[in-house]
């Protein structure tokens, strides 16, 4: 059985301080790690992430600390 990896586009380049975005997923830890690694590529050293529920979906809320 083949498993496909989905490509997630993390909008760190458009995220201002104090703002955030939600990525729905099932594997919270893998998504959190990938999102924070993507933040480093955009030199967003103030990035943070935590598991969240939004509109009935489980996922990770990413944000930039103000």
pTM as predicted: 0.85
One pLDDT digit (tens) per residue for the chain, 66 residues: 556 677 889 999 999 999 999 999 999 999 999 999 999 999 999 999 999 999 999 999 999 998
- Among 56, 62, 8, 4, which Cα is nearest to 32's? 62
CA distance 63 to 66: 9
Q: What is the pLDDT of residues 15-28, one digit of tens each?
A: 999 999 999 999 99
């Amino acid at each position: 059985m083949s498993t496909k990896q989905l490509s997630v586009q993390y909008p760190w380049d458009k995220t201002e301080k104090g703002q955030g975005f939600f990525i729905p997923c099932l594997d919270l830890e893998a998504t959190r790690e990938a999102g924070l690694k993507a933040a480093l590529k955009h030199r967003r050293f103030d990035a943070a992430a935590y598991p969240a529920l939004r509109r009935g979906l489980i996922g990770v809320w990413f944000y930039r600390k103000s």
